Amino acid sequence: MRLIFLLPLIIIGSILLFKLNFEQIEELKTSNNKEFSAFFDKSSDFIQKKLSKMSLNEKISQMIISSVVPENLNENSAEFKKLKKLCEVNKIGGFIFFKGSTIDYTRISNTLQSYSETPLLISADFERGTKMRVSDGALFPNNMAIGAANNPELCYKMGLEIARETRLLGVHQNYAPVCDVNNNPNNPIINVRSFGEDPALVSRMSEAMIKGLQEGKVIATAKHFPGHGDTEIDSHKDLPILNFSKERLNSVELVPFKNAVNKNVMSVMIAHLSIPELEPTPNVPASLSSNIVKELLINEMGFKGLVVTDALNMKGITKYFSTAEVAVMCVEAGIDLILIPLNEETTIDAIESAVINGKIPEEQINRSVEKILKAKEWLGLFENKYVQEADIWKTINTAEANQLAQQIADESVTLVKDDINILPIKESPEKTAFVVISEDGESDNVSYLSANTSQYLNNYDLISSEQFDISSSSYYSYIIVAIFAKVRYGTGKISISQENINLINQLSHIFGSTIVVSLGNPYLLKEFPSVQAYICAYGDSDVSINAALKALTGKIKFKGKLPVSIGENYKFGWGINK
């Protein structure tokens, strides 16, 4: 009887305790955000003293981020000698790392740090995990899969895990998250790298990733400002032009970036995009525009962190300006970090001459370098700029990381259509045909699909589209067409060949149980609208292939919702749960 009287008190106490814990958690989140927000405003005697000892040339050099391919880099090679000179003589601020292994990364990071008097800021493109560049790193699903799962907590955990591996590898800045709103199905470079077409969804997911990265002591970088989602030109090949009004930009493209700035992202990457509404001078991209960097991002939006260009070796820049012109325009625009200039020494000399000649005030250089040094201080690099090299591979690409990646993939796989209710498929006396379309060869993950299909199907033939005889379709109970269709940088390719499109259309007309699984670009359905069933997995990573196979065979439910619209019939948020 006493327990009955005590029960309300217990419930009230539990609610109060939960409320207290929740408020403590929110307070911790707020304090973390305040730390990032106030960081660049804080005065630091240590930084001021270091800055005062630097020559003008040394300060400008801190703004230069050059590139390194750590893979099998030989210390006797001309490339390595150049890198050493950049550290010891030119005293540049840092490097972006590309392809390599964990051993390559830690070795080269430590070696270059040993040559540099001021700690180097090492960066990399780890948008969906270190394996994007590091051969034995962890890999998560593409951002569009994360948008389909629509689970910010998982995205935060992904950011935190990427940060953990990033710091173990000797890297400090991640050029992620992608904050572009991909509302153009023909975008040849963003596509599944975006969280989706809805500005609110992109804001929510990028915010979660920023939080995870920065709580893991990695500088997050919102890119590609002011928005690369509605383009049909790859800025690696030419300069895209966005003829949008300020109203349109404020309601779509800028929304995730404004949110990222408000949530205290520490860095923003500026795209090579021409936006006449914001910068009327022809061929001047956002990355070189004072109107876009200084006026919009810094003054209007109040961003106080590090501003970095997209890579300056891209044709959207090199087609229109010389290396020296780019250097000076970068600084005039308000850039802090000059990424992959075509010639480091030319860049430094051009900026130094502009300062000496009064074209650029030295105070502007000082402000940029102070931010760079403060970022290095926040990272703890002045206390310890080295990382452990021995056995580092044992703590990278862990079982826990792969479990998290699989959970995201499982929640993302999306059933877009199932006109005759054939999913999940059931085993039958007749075989299932698994027809594989892979037009880019070994760069696709076909081998993983081949090796793992037998875990889910017993009676099947796995055949390439080139070898598949359409007249044999009557021998099968189901025909599953798996399409490996990545959007690859520099190719401009967004679809599959007309021959393979014709194959799928023929199949859907003569065979009533054709299922297409897109292991990449989700928009392909518009090429074969009469296919009976269509599934989006948004990528061909191991976990995305696993998720597709599990959902196909009923091992998991289809939970994902489209983060983009596919034509008029399948709008954002659509998805069949079964």
3-state percent helix, strand, coil for the chain, nearest multiple of 5: 45, 15, 40
- One domain, residues 346 and 493: no
- One domain, residues 153 and 235: yes
Query: Quick check: is 16 in a domain?
Result: no
- Can you tell me the distance from the alpha carbon of 326 to that of 354, in angstroms, rounded to the nearest whole number? 12
Q: What is the pLDDT of residue 427?
A: 77
User: Within 13 Å, how many C-alpha atoms sit on residue 517's CB side?
Assistant: 29
- One domain, residues 169 and 297: yes
Q: What is the pLDDT of residue 440?
A: 73
Query: What secondary structure does DSSP assign to 266-294, as a single string?
Result: SEEEEP--B-TTT--STT--GGG-HIIII
Q: Is the whole model's pTM more than 0.85, yes or no?
A: yes
Query: Quick check: is 408 in a domain?
Result: no
- One domain, residues 475 and 426: yes
Neighbouring C-beta atoms of residue 427, cutoff 10 Å: 13
- One domain, residues 106 and 239: yes
**Joined tokens for residue 291:** 């109107």
Residues 6+ apart with CB under 8 A from 449: 434, 436, 462, 482, 519, 540, 545
Question: Which residue in 155, 212, 131 sits closest to 407, CA to CA?
Answer: 155
Q: What is the pLDDT of residue 385?
A: 98
Output the tens digit of pLDDT for each of the chain's 578 residues: 333 444 343 333 433 333 333 333 344 344 444 555 567 777 789 999 999 999 999 999 999 999 999 999 999 999 999 999 999 999 999 999 999 999 999 999 999 999 999 999 999 999 999 999 999 999 999 999 999 999 999 999 999 999 999 999 999 999 999 999 999 999 988 999 999 999 999 999 999 999 999 999 999 999 999 999 999 887 777 899 999 999 999 999 999 999 999 999 999 999 999 999 999 999 999 999 999 999 999 999 999 999 999 999 988 898 899 999 999 999 999 999 999 999 999 999 999 999 999 999 999 999 999 999 999 999 999 999 999 999 998 999 999 999 999 999 999 999 999 999 999 998 776 799 999 999 876 567 999 999 999 999 999 999 999 999 999 988 999 999 999 988 765 555 678 999 999 999 999 999 989 999 999 999 999 999 999 999 999 999 999 999 999 999 999 999 999 999 999 999 999 999 99
- Can you tell me the distance from the alpha carbon of 368 to that of 365, in angstroms, rounded to the nearest whole number? 5
User: Within 13 Å, how many C-alpha atoms sit on residue 418's CB side?
Assistant: 18
* Domain at 439, CATH number: 3.40.50.1700
> Chain-centre distance of CA 290, in angstroms?
26
Query: Quick check: is 572 in a domain?
Result: no
Query: Quick check: is 235 in a domain?
Result: yes
Residues 6+ apart with CB under 8 A from 152: 204, 205, 207, 208
Q: What is the pLDDT of residue 113?
A: 98
Query: Quick check: is 369 in a domain?
Result: yes
- One domain, residues 427 and 308: no
- One domain, residues 418 and 500: yes
Query: Quick check: is 190 in a domain?
Result: yes
What is the identity of the amino acid at 192? V
* Domain at 80, CATH number: 3.20.20.300
- One domain, residues 238 and 134: yes
- One domain, residues 364 and 459: no
Q: What is the pLDDT of residue 495?
A: 84
- Can you tell me the distance from the alpha carbon of 121 to that of 313, in angstroms, rounded to the nearest whole number? 20
Question: Which residue in 99, 215, 87 sits closest to 157, CA to CA?
Answer: 215
- One domain, residues 391 and 418: no
- One domain, residues 383 and 423: no
CA dihedral defined by 173, 304, 227, 123, rounded to 10 degrees?
-10
Task: Name the H helices within 216-361.
Answer: 246-251, 254-262, 290, 315-318, 323-333, 344-356
Question: Which residue in 535, 555, 544 sits closest to 445, CA to CA?
Answer: 544
Query: Quick check: is 76 in a domain?
Result: yes
- One domain, residues 469 and 507: yes
Looking at the 3D structure of the chain, how many domains does it have? 2
What is Dmax (Cα atoms) for the chain? 89
Q: Are strands 533-536 and 414-418 parallel, antiparallel or unpaired?
A: antiparallel
Q: What is the pLDDT of residue 296?
A: 98
Domain carrying residue 145: 45-395
Query: Quick check: is 403 in a domain?
Result: no
